[in-house]
Amino acid sequence: MTALPSYWLSLPSPDWDEGTLQVFGQLYQQHVASGQGGWMPGDVPVPLWSFLRWMEQHPVVFHGSGNPDIEVFEPRTPLDFSADAFSKQHAVFASGDGIWAMFYAILNRPVRFLNGALQVRQQAGWSPMHYFFSVNGAADRTQLWREGTLYVLPKSAFQPQPPYLMQDREILEPQWICPHPVRPLAKIQVSPQVFPLLSQVRFHDQQHVDFWAAQDPEGFPWLNADGTPRSL
């Protein structure tokens, strides 16, 4: 198995002390386990992404949106250009990874973009999560980001995407689907400033990407190993 190219991003493993873990547990019990669907405070004692990492160890998944007032998520058929059938189902979509979902919360759509989150099978198990984020370079960068909402949903209502082969690697994406309406357990207000990979979001030539996506549907994200665009 070959390593992922360097344009796949990752974050360090968080280190929580006992006091921080106690705060996390209290927040979870008060705002998530109660299942009331209300706002969680965003002023945790560590960066928000670190708190989300902790929440990922619990029976929840995440959905990022620009709409702060969703009371029930209804199944829908997404506009999806990926090669896999799982991503095209009529369902409620969510992520087992809070950082991936946060990107959807803060990106001011509609705008064409590429994104991914995945783990690679290694001898000792699955690798840490890796990310790729790129936005159409023609987009207005002064209007690209927004305040968003990260919804926390019950994992028990969802089914995970199975692992699959990508080139010579076995891949696991944190994508989950629910075939029926589902109510959020809680929600968190998020801003672009708390997204830990904001400065590493790439920009691409959309016509260039469209050309290569048609030629090689499974070649995401259509870059050379050094991160430069493929030649036309």
- What pLDDT, on the 0 to 100 scale, is given for residue 2? 65
- Give the ranges where 61-164 is alpha helix by DSSP (H): 98-106
Q: Which positions of the chain have pLDDT values less than 70?
A: 1-2, 80-83, 232
Q: Does 227 reside within a domain? A: no
Query: Measured between alpha carbons, how far is 128 from 126 in angstroms, rounded to an integer?
Result: 7
- pLDDT, residue 81, reads 64
- Determine, yes or no, domain membership for 111: yes
d(CA 147, CA 122): 37
Between CA 126 and CA 224 the distance in angstroms is 24
Q: Is residue 204 part of a domain?
A: yes
What is the tally of helices (H) and strands (E) in the chain?
4, 12
Q: Based on the structure, what is the number of domains in the chain?
A: 1
3 inside domain? no
Length of the chain: 232
Task: Answer yes or no: is 7 within a domain.
Answer: no
Q: Across the strands, what pairs with 117?
A: 131
10 within some domain: no
Residue 221 lies in a domain: no
Domain of 124 in residue numbering reads as 19-215
E strands present in 26-91: 60-65
Answer whether 122's CB lies under 8 Å from 172's CB. Answer: no
Q: What is the pTM of this model?
A: 0.93
In this structure, are residues 54 and 45 in contact, taking their beta carbons and an 8 Å threshold? no
SS3 content of the chain, % helix, strand, coil (to 5): 25, 30, 45
In a domain, 129, yes or no: yes
Residue 166: per-residue pLDDT: 82
Closest CA to 147 of 202, 119, 187: 187
